[in-house]
């Protein structure tokens, strides 16, 4: 994945970070049992640097960020 | 003589008691209770020749059906795609020799969008309403049973919920509908000698949505969380331990539901006296990951490693005269072997197009091996037939969740009695496992046993070349496409 690709990040109630390629998908990922938060925008490069095992959902599949660095 | 073929899609081998596989996990709050309840499949196994080392070839659903119907290895050259006009397939072969081929199925991808897997069957019946099948339409959006971030393909799941809203009793569940229709067909044909009935059930494939009484056998007492009937694929970290435990319980409940209906079908066969002249074959196409190797579902792309949980599948064959009954066969066999086995049983010549080998020499105990290696894999959408890539992606995503990063070729697996070698494209790490010592595939020996990996890699490349794989695709696995393998 291109390091400049935009990602939209949410954090689930267990503290797991999940990133989505569109804001709409990230908003959909929020639900009632999640703490109040805003969807954070970042780039793939920054997200990978922060946490290589942060999750990224692409095409109905969750990857670790490090899976997508190729 | 007749043949009944029973397909239960996505049935893990460790979820059929008869295989005697150690439970892959503990069930929270169910310690000390049986891991899985499959009395009917267990009984069938006792009356059958049971294959302990059957490995899927082409993966997943649609590619597997090609292997079964054509008796060939599709994955070197084919992906998720329709039958081709020139394909020589089971129903057309047996019909030309006076047999009546019939099929009942609920997997919508088999005959929608020109896929034509019902081709050649004299009688075919599609049971409507499975997963995303556009069968029921109304304006009511049913509430999702779990957080959207945990469910995959939301529009498809919503369509399933619409279809499912019409179910009231157990017979309304998909395997109930499909096997009820199959039992009706048996009643219609109970005096007939010379039919081949192909029953293709998608259960226990997701959505995992069994009756509550089947779920209660396996789920954590008092659980009140998400009901994740169609979990996202890939890295399983998005699921809590309780989520995962409940998904596993949903699947187990679905397996027990399937078992009960298969039992009812087999009882009907017996009631009608058809067990005396009917060969029964029961199998699946692949397994399904539930947190095994940290993965969920049938991930693809860089996460598409085909481990034993996915590749090693149930297969049992019950001869009406009892040939091979109770025999456990540990020879390596694969789905392309099933067509020639059926044809030999019926006394029909095996066409030269068939690559599989009849299993009768194994069942009768005349030989103890028919091959020394199994090849399992899927066709990458990145190579060949670019005109079909978008169509394949769309169909596969709709019907089997076969989606991922398209630029990657998919890992292939080579299995012997001793080793499993997982070969992704050459820029990705390879894996090698010693199965007798490490059946769970937790210790990658690729660095310790490079000579074994090299030999299995050589066999894989030769297999792909012999089966006409695209040279560009082979180069990705061979490692001479200019990319450097990651250490």
Residue B369 lies in a domain: no
For residue B109, the model assigns a pLDDT of 87
pLDDT tier at B206 (50, 70, 90 boundaries)? very high
Complex ipTM value: 0.96
What is the percent of chain B with per-residue pLDDT over 70, rounded to a whole number? 92
Stretch 303-362 of chain B: residues touching chain A, C-beta under 8 Å? 303
Q: Tell whether B352 and B392 lie within a shared domain.
A: no
Query: How close does chain B come to A57, measured CA to CA in Å?
Result: 9
Nearest Cα to Cα of residue B395 among B174, B139, B115, B159: B115
- Phi/psi region, residue B100 (left: phi>0; alpha: psi -120 to 50; beta: rest), is beta
Residue B485 lies in a domain: no
Query: How close does chain B come to A37, measured CA to CA in Å?
Result: 16
Task: Match 């089966």 to its residue by tokens.
Answer: B467
Residue B81 lies in a domain: yes
For residue B485, the model assigns a pLDDT of 47
Q: Do B300 and A61 touch (CB under 8 A)?
A: yes
Is the pLDDT score of B128 beyond 80? yes
Residue B172 lies in a domain: yes
Chain-centre distance for alpha carbon B416: 20
B411: DSSP letter? P
What is the percent of chain B with per-residue pLDDT over 90, rounded to a whole number? 82
Q: Do A29 and B148 touch (CB under 8 A)?
A: yes
Answer yes or no: are the C-beta atoms of B314 and B369 closer than 8 Å.
Answer: no
The runs of H, that is alpha helices, within B272-358 are: 308-311, 338-346
Q: Tell whether B391 and B357 lie within a shared domain.
A: no
Instruction: Identify the CATH number of the domain in which residue B429 sits.
Output: 3.30.1120.10
Rounded Cα gap, residues A20 and A3, in angstroms? 14
B229: DSSP letter? S
Closest-CA residue of B relative to A29 is: B149
Pairing between β-strand A55-58 and β-strand A61-64 as defined by DSSP bridges:
antiparallel
B204 CB-near residues (< 8 Å, 6+ apart): B8, B9, B10, B11, B15, B251, B254, B255, B257, B258
Q: Domain boundary at B309, B341, B363, which?
A: B363
Chain B positions in Cβ-Cβ contact with residue A68 (cut-off 8 Å): 302, 405
B271 CB-near residues (< 8 Å, 6+ apart): none
Residue B484 lies in a domain: no
Q: Do B235 and A18 touch (CB under 8 A)?
A: no
Q: Tell whether B188 and B269 lie within a shared domain.
A: yes
Task: Give me the domain span that covers residue B228.
Answer: 2-363
What are the pLDDT digits (tens) for B306-365?
A: 999 999 999 999 999 999 999 999 999 999 999 999 999 999 999 999 999 999 999 999
Chain A positions in Cβ-Cβ contact with residue B149 (cut-off 8 Å): 10, 12, 18, 28-29, 31, 57
CB atoms near residue B445 (< 10 Å): 17
φ/ψ of B199, rounded to 5, equals -110, 115
Q: Do A16 and B427 touch (CB under 8 A)?
A: no
Q: Tell whether B389 and B349 lie within a shared domain.
A: no
Query: How close does chain B come to A20, measured CA to CA in Å?
Result: 10
Q: Tell whether B419 and B327 lie within a shared domain.
A: no
Rounded Cα gap, residues B348 and B78, in angstroms? 27
Rounded Cα gap, residues B348 and B361, in angstroms? 16
Query: How close does chain A come to B331, measured CA to CA in Å?
Result: 35
Q: Tell whether B54 and B141 lie within a shared domain.
A: yes
Using H for helix, E for strand and C for coil, what is the string for B31-99? CCCCCCCCHHHHHHHHCCEEEEEEECCECCHHHHHHHHHHCCCCCCCCCCCCCCCCCCCHHHHHHCCCC
For residue A9, the model assigns a pLDDT of 96
With an 8 Å Cβ cutoff, is B485 touching chain A?
no
Q: Tell whether B388 and B346 lie within a shared domain.
A: no
Run of H or E including B465: helix B450-466
Q: Domain boundary at B363, B391, B410, which?
A: B363
With an 8 Å Cβ cutoff, is B401 touching chain A?
yes
Pairing between β-strand B2-8 and β-strand B278-283 as defined by DSSP bridges:
parallel
Rounded Cα gap, residues B18 and B42, in angstroms? 5
Peptide bond before B211: cis, by omega within 30 degrees of 0? Answer: no
Rounded Cα gap, residues B267 and B253, in angstroms? 21
What are the pLDDT digits (tens) for B452-471?
A: 999 999 999 999 999 999 88
Residue B368 lies in a domain: no
What are the pLDDT digits (tens) for B164-178?
A: 999 999 999 999 999
Rounded Cα gap, residues B204 and B256, in angstroms? 9
With an 8 Å Cβ cutoff, is B153 touching chain A?
yes
Mean pLDDT (whole number) for B258-270: 98
Nearest to A16 among B237, B302, B397 (CB): B237
For residue B302, what are its two tokens?
């860089």
Answer yes or no: are the C-beta atoms of B445 and B420 closer than 8 Å.
Answer: no
Rounded Cα gap, residues A52 and B241, in angstroms? 22
Chain-centre distance for alpha carbon B189: 28
pLDDT tier at B399 (50, 70, 90 boundaries)? low
CB burial of B63-93 (b: ≥16 within 10 Å; e: otherwise) equals bbbbbbbbbbbbbbbbbbbbbeeebbbbbeb
Q: Do A29 and B149 touch (CB under 8 A)?
A: yes
Residue B486 lies in a domain: no
Number of domains forming the structure of chain B: 2
Stretch 224-253 of chain B: residues touching chain A, C-beta under 8 Å? 232-238, 240
Rounded Cα gap, residues B63 and B78, in angstroms? 7
Q: Tell whether B354 and B405 lie within a shared domain.
A: no
Q: Domain boundary at B295, B328, B363, which?
A: B363
Q: Do A61 and B427 touch (CB under 8 A)?
A: no
Chain A positions in Cβ-Cβ contact with residue B411 (cut-off 8 Å): none
For residue A42, what are its two tokens?
């970042």
Residue B483 lies in a domain: no
For residue B301, the model assigns a pLDDT of 82
pLDDT tier at B484 (50, 70, 90 boundaries)? very low
Is the pLDDT score of B243 beyond 70? yes
For residue B132, what are its two tokens?
């995303």
Rounded Cα gap, residues B119 and B338, in angstroms? 18
For residue A21, what are its two tokens?
């390629």
Q: Tell whether B406 and B359 lie within a shared domain.
A: no
For residue A11, what are its two tokens?
């954090």
Chain B positions in Cβ-Cβ contact with residue A53 (cut-off 8 Å): 237
Q: Which of A12, A14, A27, A59 has the highest number of chain B CBs within 10 A, making it the mutation to test binding with B? A: A59
Q: Tell whether B359 and B379 lie within a shared domain.
A: no
Instruction: Estimate the share of chain B in helix, then strand, then coil, as percent rounded to the nearest 5.
Output: 35, 15, 50
Answer yes or no: are the C-beta atoms of B202 and B174 closer than 8 Å.
Answer: yes
Mean pLDDT of chain B: 93
For residue B402, the model assigns a pLDDT of 52
Instruction: Identify the CATH number of the domain in which residue B342 sits.
Output: 3.40.720.10
Query: How close does chain B come to A51, measured CA to CA in Å?
Result: 13
Q: Tell whether B319 and B442 lie within a shared domain.
A: no
Is the pTM higher than 0.90? The answer reads yes
Chain-centre distance for alpha carbon B307: 14
Q: Which residues of chain A have pLDDT under 70?
A: 33-37, 70
Q: Tell whether B350 and B394 lie within a shared domain.
A: no
For residue A38, the model assigns a pLDDT of 82
B168: DSSP letter? -
Chain-centre distance for alpha carbon B65: 9
What are the pLDDT digits (tens) for B71-111?
A: 999 999 988 888 999 999 999 999 999 999 999 999 988 98
Q: Do A62 and B233 touch (CB under 8 A)?
A: yes
CB atoms near residue B204 (< 10 Å): 27
Number of cross-chain residue pairs from A and B with Cβ atoms under 8 Å apart: 72
């Amino acid at each position: 994945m291109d390091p400049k690709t935009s990602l939209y990040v949410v954090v689930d109630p267990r503290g797991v970070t999940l990133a989505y390629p569109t804001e709409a998908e990230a908003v959909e990922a929020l639900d009632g049992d999640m703490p109040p938060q805003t969807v954070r925008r970042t780039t793939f490069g920054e997200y990978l640097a922060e946490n290589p095992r942060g999750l990224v959902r692409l095409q109905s599949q969750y990857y670790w960020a490090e899976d997508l660095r190729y | 003589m007749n043949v009944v073929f029973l397909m239960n899609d996505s049935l893990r081998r460790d979820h059929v008691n008869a295989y005697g596989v150690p439970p892959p996990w503990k069930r929270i709050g169910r310690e000390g209770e049986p891991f899985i309840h499959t009395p009917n499949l267990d009984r069938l196994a006792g009356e059958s020749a049971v294959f302990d080392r059957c490995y899927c070839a082409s993966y997943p659903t649609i590619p597997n059906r090609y292997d079964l119907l054509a008796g060939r290895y599709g994955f070197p050259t084919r992906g998720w795609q329709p039958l081709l006009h020139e394909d020589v397939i089971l129903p057309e072969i047996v019909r030309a020799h006076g047999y009546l081929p019939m099929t009942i199925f609920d997997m919508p991808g088999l005959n929608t969008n020109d896929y034509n897997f019902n081709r050649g069957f004299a009688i075919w019946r599609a049971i409507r309403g499975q997963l995303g099948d556009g069968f029921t339409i109304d304006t009511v959006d049913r509430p999702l049973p779990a957080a959207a971030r945990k469910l995959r393909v939301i529009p498809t799941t919503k369509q399933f919920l619409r279809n499912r809203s019409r179910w009231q009793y157990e017979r309304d569940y998909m395997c109930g509908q499909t096997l009820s229709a199959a039992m009706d067909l048996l009643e219609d044909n109970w005096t007939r000698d010379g039919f081949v009935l192909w029953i293709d059930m998608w259960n226990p494939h997701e959505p995992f949505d069994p009756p509550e009484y089947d779920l209660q056998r396996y789920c954590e007492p008092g659980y009140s969380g998400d009901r994740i009937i169609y979990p996202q694929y890939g890295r399983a970290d998005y699921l809590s331990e309780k989520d995962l435990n409940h998904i596993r319980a949903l699947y187990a409940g679905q397996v027990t539901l399937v078992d009960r209906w298969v039992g009812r079908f087999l009882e009907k066969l017996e009631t009608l006296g058809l067990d005396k002249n009917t060969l029964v074959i029961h199998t699946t196409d692949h397994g399904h990951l539930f947190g095994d190797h940290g993965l969920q579902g049938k991930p693809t792309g860089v996460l598409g490693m085909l481990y034993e949980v996915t590749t090693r599948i149930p297969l049992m064959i019950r001869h009406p005269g009892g040939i091979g009954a109770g025999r456990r066969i540990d020879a390596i066999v694969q789905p392309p072997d099933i067509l020639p086995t059926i044809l030999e049983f019926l006394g029909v010549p095996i066409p030269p197009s068939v690559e599989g080998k009849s299993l009768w020499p194994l069942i009768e105990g005349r030989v103890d091996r028919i091959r020394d290696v199994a090849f399992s894999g899927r066709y990458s959408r990145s190579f060949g037939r670019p005109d079909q890539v978008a169509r394949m992606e769309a169909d596969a995503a709709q019907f089997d969740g076969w989606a991922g990063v398209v630029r990657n070729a998919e890992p292939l697996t080579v299995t012997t009695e001793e080793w499993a070698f997982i070969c992704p494209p050459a820029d990705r790490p390879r894996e090698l496992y010693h199965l007798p010592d490490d059946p769970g595939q937790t210790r990658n020996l690729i660095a310790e046993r490079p000579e074994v990996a090299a030999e299995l890699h050589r066999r894989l490349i030769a297999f792909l070349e012999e089966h006409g794989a695209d040279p560009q695709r082979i180069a990705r696995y061979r490692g001479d496409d200019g990319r450097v393998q990651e250490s």
